[in-house]
Amino acid sequence: MDFKSDMQARIQEIEAALQTYIPKQEAFPPVIFEAMGYSLFAGGKRLRPMMVLAACEAVGGKKEMAMPFACALEMIHTYSLIHDDLPAMDNDDYRRGRLTSHKVYGEDMAILAGDGLLHHAMETMAQACYENPCKETTGAMLAIAKGAGIHGMLTGQVVDVYFEGKPIDKETLDFIHIHKTAAMIRGALEAGARVGGASDEVVEKFGLAGEKIGVAFQILDDILDVTSTMEELGKPIHSDEKNEKTTYVTLYGIEESRKIAAKLSDEAVAIWKELGESCDFLQTLTNYLLQRTY
């Protein structure tokens, strides 16, 4: 199977699993479950859950044990996108090629849908830990919680919002990217390795690769925001300019930003090579992400 076919098969597996973990719309009140599902099943690359599963398998673990954590992480990622798109944040009307949650359900229900996904993610992980109590499951939950919370994504978003419209230096921009974007990718790979039974040393290597991939991913996002079309991205372009945000492109220009992203990707690939052929999929995925156009 070629890489793209393999990737598509993994996406379909994750989609099917998400359907089993998300509450059904028959529950009362149906609107909140409809709003949660609207954003969760709007498509997307499913990179973070894919990384959880791939990391688990790479260290010899069983992906069935990792699946609840993979799905929970995608719920958390989706909640963050719903809240990112709100008028109080980035004020975007489109995401993944269709209207954002607050444009369909209103700001109040969009906030609650994001809250619902976050809390259901925690319930999903807690249930997995309850059914299989061990350091591997609790370690996976901890890695994801740290990546999403005040030690990770949340703090990155706070600093991003705080400096909106203000000039920032490279160190501050790196802080934002490492926390807002890379922390969740680091958490995905650490969680997968942890639930797969890897040693602390190996988990740290997965996390370091994840941080490098995450920053490179965000740099490419900055580039695509000024070089792509709305049709290609599925969301408005020039959003950073509209919100007066400093990006790698505004600091370094497009070509230098590409070089920085490529260097980070190469460093991540070097880690995968060091860890061995069990990380071949992650190595190919890392190279693929650098070439993406959306």
Whole-number Å distance between alpha carbons of 248 and 252: 6
CATH code: domain of residue 173: 1.10.600.10
Verify cis geometry, omega within 30 degrees of 0, for the bond prior to 68.
Answer: no
Whole-number Å distance between alpha carbons of 146 and 150: 7
Q: Which residue has tokens 């028959």?
A: 26
Question: Which pLDDT does position 203 carry in this prediction?
Answer: 99
Q: Provide the residue range defining the domain that includes 134.
A: 3-290
Backbone phi and psi for residue 99, each to the nearest 5 degrees, phi listed first = -55, 140
Q: Could you count the other beta carbons within 10 Å of the beta carbon of residue 42?
A: 17
**How many structural domains are present in the chain?**
1
Q: How far is CA 77 from the centre of its chain?
A: 5
Residue range 218-265, pLDDT digits in tens: 999 999 988 866 555 555 555 666 656 789 999 999 999 999 999 999
Question: Which pLDDT does position 115 carry in this prediction?
Answer: 98
Q: Could you count the other beta carbons within 10 Å of the beta carbon of residue 228?
A: 16
The per-residue pLDDT string of the chain (294 residues; one tens digit each, 9 = 90 and over) reads 799 999 999 999 999 999 999 877 766 788 999 999 999 999 889 999 999 999 999 999 999 999 999 999 999 999 999 999 999 998 999 888 899 999 999 999 999 999 999 999 999 999 999 999 999 999 999 999 999 999 999 999 999 999 988 889 999 999 999 999 999 999 999 999 999 999 999 999 999 999 999 999 999 999 998 886 655 555 555 566 665 678 999 999 999 999 999 999 999 999 999 999 999 999 999 999 988 766
Whole-number Å distance between alpha carbons of 128 and 120: 12
Whole-number Å distance between alpha carbons of 24 and 116: 13
Query: Using an 8 Å Cβ cutoff, are 120 and 112 in contact?
Result: no
Whole-number Å distance between alpha carbons of 186 and 88: 27
Question: Which pLDDT does position 231 carry in this prediction?
Answer: 58
